[in-house]
Amino acid sequence: MRVISGTARGKKLKAPPGFITRPLTDRIKEALFNVLGGEIEDARLLDVFAGSGQVGIEALSRGASYVVFVEKHPAAIRTIYANLDGCRFASGFEVLGMDVFRALRILVGRGKVFDVIYVDPPFDQPEIFVQVLQALDNNRLLAERGTLVIRVPRKHALPERLAFIAQFRIDVYGESALIYYRQREREEEL
């Protein structure tokens, strides 16, 4: 794993020891950031189930103003800090070492919203995909013009529309799919 672009370009990233992780390949990560394009510069990004922190670190390298990493596993949290240090990032981020639902409650309590939200839940817990998506939607953590991306197994379907967000793109890469959501346009009241 490495940082693809930006100020930390080429820096190698560590994986959490003893973890069964599914790190993004460079191909998928590059495609993700190509789709997000200019949305990353000065963005506030939420990296949920952060693992090694590679998506949030890539965003910082490409000019994101602030990244919140959410990860509950101590070994992964240590790896995130080691990777941030290895890329020489000393500020512009926060690591919430806790369960995702607790972290979301804290972020809501602080009034946080994010321009980009990236979610990479464990593939062996399919019930959590919709739960996390609904929690993000219900708590309005996505900025008005923001993008939410969730990585799921290729054959796993997610709701096309929720209360406040709707799918606008699905990209498939081998056994993984990236599903993109944006705020639904406000419906006119009759």
* Better-scored residue on pLDDT, 186 or 170: 170
60 falls within a domain: yes
Q: How many domains in the chain?
A: 1
Portion of the chain with pLDDT greater than 90, in percent: 85
Whole-Å CA distances, 95 to 27, 54, 155, 175: 26, 13, 31, 29
Name residue 171's beta-bridge partners: 178
Instruction: Say which CATH number the domain at 115 has.
Output: 3.40.50.150
12 falls within a domain: no
On whether the CB atoms of residues 11 and 2 are closer than 8 A, the answer is yes
Q: Which pLDDT band, with edges at 50, 70 and 90, does 18 fall under?
A: confident
Q: Is the pLDDT of residue 55 over 80?
A: yes
Lowest mean pLDDT among 16-20, 67-71, 141-145, 149-153: 16-20
Single out the residue of 71, 78, 43 nearest to residue 59, CA to CA: 43
User: How many Å apart are CA 13 and CA 166, to the nearest integer?
Assistant: 33
Instruction: For residue 119, count other CB atoms closer than 10 A to its CB.
Output: 24
Dump pLDDT digits (tens) for 110-158: 999 999 999 999 988 889 999 999 999 999 999 999 999 999 999 888 9
User: How many Å apart are CA 70 and CA 53, to the nearest integer?
Assistant: 9
Distance separating the N- and C-terminal Cα atoms of the chain: 52
35 falls within a domain: no
8 falls within a domain: no
152 falls within a domain: yes
Whole-Å CA distances, 182 to 9, 44, 141, 163, 169: 29, 15, 12, 11, 10
173 falls within a domain: yes
Name residue 93's beta-bridge partners: 67
User: How many Å apart are CA 15 and CA 92, to the nearest integer?
Assistant: 21
Q: Which domain holds residue 146?
A: 41-183
On whether the CB atoms of residues 129 and 162 are closer than 8 A, the answer is no
32 falls within a domain: no
28 falls within a domain: no
Q: pTM to 2 decimals?
A: 0.94
